[in-house]
A and B are shown apart, each in its own frame.
Chain A
Amino acid sequence: GAGVSQTPSNKVTEKGKYVELRCDPISGHTALYWYRQSLGQGPEFLIYFQGTGAADDSGLPNDRFFAVRPEGSVSTLKIQRTERGDSAVYLCASSLEVGERADLNEQFFGPGTRLTVL
């Protein structure tokens, strides 16, 4: 079956602009995660959705970052007034569920969106 997909694969924007990054999780996966990977670093957690609601948004760096998942499937990460420091690869992952069954919590990652803010 299809894996996690993300669009666009690359996004170049100018400082101060608004961007939207899209994630299509694996069909049937209830949990969706966004991570950010800066150059030379491992991925860092941003936000996690269980269904339509953001269950944990403690990783969002500031209020310029916002994410939605209105129908419990596709998610959009929105960044307002972009800054050069926002340049990174934004990764999306999904898992079947989150709960006591660790094997059902396994996260599958998409290819990422490389964001460059000039």
Chain B
Amino acid sequence: AQKITQTQPGMFVQEKEAVTLDCTYDTSDPSYGLFWYKQPSSGEMIFLIYQGSYDQQNATEGRYSLNFQKARKSANLVISASQLGDSAMYFCAMRGSGAGSYQLTFGKGTKLSVIP
């Protein structure tokens, strides 16, 4: 079974500062994928970034980077230069590797508030 743990129910960050959202995972799959999604107050799920378990380098997408530490089973999201529009719920998720098993297992989320 897969498990995702996000230990920060809420976080505050000053505008233009960087922030790290924590995510740890547990799985017995040898191959897996890790995701971060953003859910603003409007409710849609926005894909941010993906890291494959065999990827050698940490994933980056614009202001988002994923700090992947495989031995520690952590996949923290780093948002640089926070903007007011970054205020939202952030979900870490994992996908397994078996045939057809592409469903995502989500953490409980972190609510990020950006302060002007």
Q: Do A and B actually bind?
A: no
